[in-house]
Amino acid sequence: MDKSQNASYNVGQAQGQAEAKKDQFMDKASNTAQSAKDSVNEAGQTMMDKAHGAADAVKDATGIKK
């Protein structure tokens, strides 16, 4: 392998490694985003459940609930 071929090989190797690192980074970012979305959805559901419970408690206390 001459110097030109060796340099081309090294450039190809570097590009491949950079692509793999980019893919790993994107996977981690996607997983982090999905985790955050799941956390927000869970928190929202918890708040809705608490609000529903509070509304029922008010209805019970005021005799509105039938």
Q: Where are the domains of the chain?
A: 25-66
Q: Which residue has the higher pLDDT, 6 or 43?
A: 43
First to last CA, the chain: 87
Quote the CA–CA distance of 13 and 65 in Å, as a whole number.
71
Question: Are the CB atoms for 44 and 36 separated by under 8 Å?
Answer: no
- 12-62 pLDDT per residue, tens: 999 999 999 999 999 999 999 999 999 999 999 999 999 999 999 999 889
Residue 3 banded pLDDT, cuts 50, 70, 90: confident
Q: How far is CA 42 from CA 10, 32, 39, in A?
A: 48, 15, 5
Phi-psi region of 63 (alpha: psi -120 to 50; beta: other; left: phi over 0): left
